Amino acid sequence: MDFYSLVIIAIALSLDAFGVAISIGINKGVKRNSKLIFAASFGFFQFFFTLLGAYAGFLFNTYVVAIPKIIGGVIIALVGVLMIKEGFEEKEDNIFSSFKMYIILGISVSIDAAVVGFTVFNKINSNYIIAAQSIFVGIVTFIISVLAFIISKYLRKLELVTKYADYVGGVILILFGLKMMFF
């Protein structure tokens, strides 16, 4: 695979993480350290699932093409519903401050990377190239997630966005989940 194709694949895989990062970033209760952990989680799981998919691709190529998108979509949509529910409740705790949320969201935005590993990266014969390209996908996802958090910082300055951040973020996550499941 040439470098141009790899960049396109890495950017395409990171767009779900970008959308989720925007949704998380507009929430005032999420601290900078949490945002970095989310970005690292998104990048790590994109790398890990791409690598895992590449190595397991020859076994699952015909069986697991649609299922990961459905599972990831359901998880992201459920987090969106939780975010909207949190918007109705006035409490100090933030759903994004728990360790398991880093893992859950990291996995859910990265399941499609396993599909790419299953279908594209499994045709590569060199373990070094598979590892290098998987690391590249993870780094691109991390950078794009950090950019999304930076953009969300400016979106938060808009009073309307801040007032309805949980609702807007929840709706965005639900739409991403539906997109993953049906399109």
Residue 145: the pLDDT is: 95
Residue 41: the pLDDT is: 95
Confidence of residue 91 (pLDDT cuts 50, 70, 90): low
The answer, yes or no, to whether residue 61 has pLDDT greater than 60, is no
The answer, yes or no, to whether residue 51 has pLDDT greater than 80, is yes
Confidence of residue 115 (pLDDT cuts 50, 70, 90): confident
**3-class SS string, 72-92:** HHHHHHHHHHHHHHHHHCCCC
Residue 147: the pLDDT is: 96
Q: Buried b / exposed e across 4-27, counting CB within 10 Å, b at 16+?
A: eebeebbeebbebbbbbbbbbbbb
Reported as a single tens digit per residue, the pLDDT across 118-162 is 767 766 778 898 899 999 999 999 999 999 999 988 887 776 666
The answer, yes or no, to whether residue 163 has pLDDT greater than 80, is no
Cα Rg of the chain, angstroms: 16
Output the six-digit token pair for 178: 């539906």
> Whole-prediction pTM value?
0.75
Q: What is the mean pLDDT of residues 104-119?
A: 80
Q: How far does CA 129 lie from the centroid of its chain?
A: 23
How far is it, in rounded angstroms, from Cα 180 to Cα 111?
10
Question: Do 30 and 95 touch, CB atoms closer than 8 A?
Answer: no
Residue 110: the pLDDT is: 85
Reported as a single tens digit per residue, the pLDDT across 11-29 is 888 888 888 898 888 887 7
Residue 97: the pLDDT is: 67
The answer, yes or no, to whether residue 89 has pLDDT greater than 80, is no
